[in-house]
Amino acid sequence: MDDVIESRSDTNDNAKALYTKCAGCHGQNGEIHALGKSQKINEWDEVKIENALLGYKDGTYGGNMKGVMKAQVMNLSEADIKSLSTYISKMGK
């Protein structure tokens, strides 16, 4: 049981660290329209965030911000994207 709790804590710490890269444009709590163009990501659910990040990574998602976001997510693993999506989805709650 302690291993599960520790894993959740490690995952949350990793997601928090990953989010520092996002905060410059999206705000500390995902409350900002990044570069005046994006939606507020703290209003999105986990699935929408994950799908957007995966889409940015493979080039299938994102209008005029596609290039900017692809560079931001290109080195994230699927596990990173999953934990980051969970972390962001809880910001607005």
Residue 58 sits in a domain whose CATH number is 1.10.760.10
Q: How confident is the model at residue 64 (pLDDT cuts 50, 70, 90)?
A: confident
pLDDT at 5 over 50: no
Output the pLDDT for position 11.
Answer: 67
Output the pLDDT for position 1.
Answer: 44
**Span 20-33, average pLDDT:** 96
Q: Which domain holds residue 81?
A: 2-89
User: How buried is 1 (Cβ within 10 angstroms: 0-12 exposed, 13-18 middle, 19+ buried)?
Assistant: exposed
Residues 53/85, Cβ–Cβ less than 8 Å: yes
pLDDT at 7 over 80: no
Output the pLDDT for position 12.
Answer: 81
- Number of domains forming the structure of the chain: 1
Backbone angles phi, psi at 65, to 5 degrees: -100, 5
